[in-house]
Structure 1
């Protein structure tokens, strides 16, 4: 996709805009589609801080980068996924997103290299004023908009998480974080240690094992890992027999129910689920493999996200001997590798710190209202879509236990319904108002380390609807697709109303 810089800049001069979408990743492009089709008269722009679209799928360049959800549910509801790969690699996902941009003629709406660094809401103007940094010139500009749709994801694009490893400077090889993968990294024939056990690690290990001399996945704590076919034969057959649109719709429903069934099975029968996963792992690994040490997590299935390996590629690499798994705590880096607390030294020429992400809402931008800072930790999520006390702001966070995009689509539908209601009634703003005595809990009820490290900086959620951050499609169909857009928790205003000083 190519963009005319002058044409895309032109839309920002026509202010105030109706909506500014932050981020040209899968959430932002999806929001733009719904605005284009449901509210074609709205003037909107997409601000993307990077020099290209795609978000996560353009940022990460490490070997084997792929989805860990099937694309029949990770894809948009409005755009069939036609590629035979269900667990798809990043280039295929990027092609899909570029097609979505082309089909909705969004090129002129996307302004690249623009990062919103702060946003201030004015009750008097009933507008947001965004301070936007031009990453390609270090200039700043102001953009006024009635609404902000924050499709920025929830992690820091600039920096991943790396623990402070003792002896780091003693290591004589190369240390790499997957979020900043060097294009010229040559690991052919070398000993590689990948620190981590999450989705990134289980992707990297088999992808590098083919060229590296040997790859070791070094994990502190085991993770549940399950194999899935890279190609969904049943879904592909549905599309071939029924046509792309109808087949995609049916395969999407099939996979939503499969995900729901497996998640609920794990939650209700954790011991049985553990046995099933363990038996699956054992069948794919060498007979003498130490399953108790390396594939025996100290938590129940789906207390943290399960890792998917397409066609069991991780297990195949271990069985072939090109990869191995070590479980233990790191004592320090040494000149030739990593020393564990047991005294064992794992030799390495390259160390990859697949140690996780840093959580960061809205790209780290500062929010304020009438010049006074908004502390996100004091806000409460309403329907998982808005934040209490923050007018005309949509929060786009997808599912952690299913495909991200399933929730984003429902959020976009709800957003468009709210806009329709406001247009018909002549409202200029809406905000959710939370009872200060309401019981609250963490926004993301999820055991991942990157979540736990950031809970004190995140908004909260309530314990009852509509203040819950639901993680089920069926619940969000009720809450977002069919839920009220004008209830007792929402306060709508018109610009003609007098606002108390």
Structure 2
């Protein structure tokens, strides 16, 4: 049985960053990264569909401790996976990763102040048990094994090939074929221009439209800054300009939704001129910008494909799938050789791990999330979730740095466990802690942790506010809502004490509520 100070679940971007935070903040700490697959990269190693790429700037998506240095800010998945792999090797993190180790259970014992983590090795051929003081769950938010199941009438009657992007067949030949992509999200916007290069016909079939914003894949400003300033200064400037641009766009959309909607529709209308595809009804969403995440297309590749003559957009509902294609409710028949069901991901927080606290299983949907990082009533475990509207890693990095400050405080006061506790549950208005209105998030509303309407249980702030809070906030404010279990220091077990506004010393006197 292995014993560790930190057990990190997942070797994607968040897991690699978690490992870097641990070894930087706690040199000499014993840690392990458990990865269910056989490679580093998470999302960027798992998905194999054509055109896989980022949908935010890699300048802000990349690690602060090893900034993205490629020219393209919107990069293909293989390059991102290589960047993550190289970053892990650069920091020596790769030596701590154990592949083909799928975590199936995590069980907390208050008597031991330890987690017991159960692992299936190599597809269940062997089972392992590890002990750890802290568990940092960096397994993302979707189910790797099962996509979101959309109800598509008659899909089993189709005589061609049905593909979900989550499980793209390596040998799928779409050249010269008639392809229908069901969906209008980021995956569809990514797939269409790539498939259109060799397919006979590509039809995007959507129930409702989305916003698709053309952006430059490489920034002239980033290139100019890199070429004229020392690397460290250039990286800092480029990081913050990327962050600020994303935040300003988000703030503009939330503050002036009607104006933002008009501007985006005008941009899309201009891109569609001459394509024969009208902006209305195909690109006039019913929702305001950023109620769902904006789709982007690098260098306008999506719109260029729509001008190519072999692409079409159909906004309609499916009546049924037939042997030869799809019949819509308006009576239109769309012939197809291949149907791609780009209908979204199944949100799956904690990756289906069986979790218990002192033998009691807990339901995630019944727990409030403390600062979007820990779960109410669950000791010494962090749930690392990034931002969903801007670069994911900005949010996951804030979460990890917050955790490091809490653990430093624990060491200062001699605590062996920390747990979020809601003092006045009746006063909190419970809602899913991810508020986006994308279909797959709405489908998972009843399975996600809750957020409240008061701090520290409320919704995430913007990155600048959270970054300042985590970097410079008073520890007494940061630990609001946490309870600490103190070690006796004599090997006899633990005693429970609550701390309120510590001043860096080991003495405290009240709960941190």
TM-score bucket of the superposed structures, by smaller chain: over 0.9
Alignment of structure 1 residues 382-421 onto 2, 5 Å = 382-421=370-409
**Aligned residue in 2 for 1:494:** 486
**Aligned residue in 1 for 2:32:** 45
Mapped partners of 2:38, 2:121: distance in 1? 11
- Aligned-pair CA distance for 1:162: 3.0
- 2:277 corresponds, among 289, 308, 311, to 289
Contact 2:385 2:395 survives alignment (8 Å):
yes
Matched residue SS, 2:260: helix
Matched residue SS, 1:359: coil
Contact 1:376 1:457 survives alignment (8 Å):
yes
**Aligned residue in 2 for 1:187:** 174
**Aligned residue in 2 for 1:102:** 89
Contact 2:181 2:340 survives alignment (8 Å):
yes
- Aligned-pair CA distance for 1:286: 2.9
**Aligned residue in 2 for 1:449:** 439
Matched residue SS, 2:378: coil
Alignment of structure 1 residues 19-30 onto 2, 5 Å = 19-30=6-17
**Aligned residue in 2 for 1:475:** 465
Contact 1:466 1:479 survives alignment (8 Å):
no
Mapped partners of 2:401, 2:157: distance in 1? 53
- 1:354 corresponds, among 339, 342, 362, to 342
Alignment of structure 1 residues 53-452 onto 2, 5 Å = 53-287=40-274, 288-435=276-423, 436-439=425-428, 440-452=430-442
**Aligned residue in 1 for 2:508:** none
User: CA offsets, 1:325-366, max 9 Å, x none?
Assistant: 111001111111111011101111011100000000111111
Matched residue SS, 2:307: helix
Q: 1:323 to 1:290 in 2, by over 3 A?
A: same
Matched residue SS, 1:416: helix
Off by >6 Å, runs of 4+ in structure 1: none
Which protein has greater RCO, CA pairs closer than 8 Å, 6+ apart? 1
Mapped partners of 2:396, 2:167: distance in 1? 27
Q: So what's the TM-score if we normalise by structure 1?
A: 0.95
- Aligned-pair CA distance for 1:482: 3.0
**Aligned residue in 2 for 1:465:** 455
- Aligned-pair CA distance for 1:245: 2.5
User: CA offsets, 1:87-114, max 9 Å, x none?
Assistant: 1101110111011111111222101111
User: CA offsets, 1:55-77, max 9 Å, x none?
Assistant: 00000000000000010111112
Mapped partners of 1:376, 1:443: distance in 2? 11
Mapped partners of 2:305, 2:213: distance in 1? 15
User: CA offsets, 1:275-333, max 9 Å, x none?
Assistant: 11111111111344321110000111111100000011110100121321111001111
Structure 2: give runs of 5+ residues left out of the alignment: 489-493, 498-513
Mapped partners of 2:365, 2:148: distance in 1? 21
- Aligned-pair CA distance for 1:136: 4.0
User: CA offsets, 1:148-197, max 9 Å, x none?
Assistant: 10101110011111312221122111000000000000001101011110
User: CA offsets, 1:456-489, max 9 Å, x none?
Assistant: 1111011122212314102212443333445342
Contact 1:333 1:339 survives alignment (8 Å):
yes
User: CA offsets, 1:432-462, max 9 Å, x none?
Assistant: 1113223222211110111111111111011
Q: So what's the TM-score if we normalise by structure 2?
A: 0.92
Contact 1:36 1:104 survives alignment (8 Å):
no
Mapped partners of 1:173, 1:134: distance in 2? 37
Contact 1:401 1:471 survives alignment (8 Å):
no
**Which deviates further from its counterpart, 275-284 or 476-485?**
476-485
Mapped partners of 1:181, 1:471: distance in 2? 36
Matched residue SS, 2:179: strand
Structure 1: give runs of 5+ residues left out of the alignment: 1-12
Mapped partners of 1:351, 1:238: distance in 2? 45
Q: 1:464 to 1:394 in 2, by over 3 A?
A: same
Q: 1:405 to 1:283 in 2, by over 3 A?
A: same
Mapped partners of 1:339, 1:247: distance in 2? 54
- Aligned-pair CA distance for 1:137: 4.7
Mapped partners of 1:222, 1:57: distance in 2? 26
> How many pairs does the alignment contain?
487
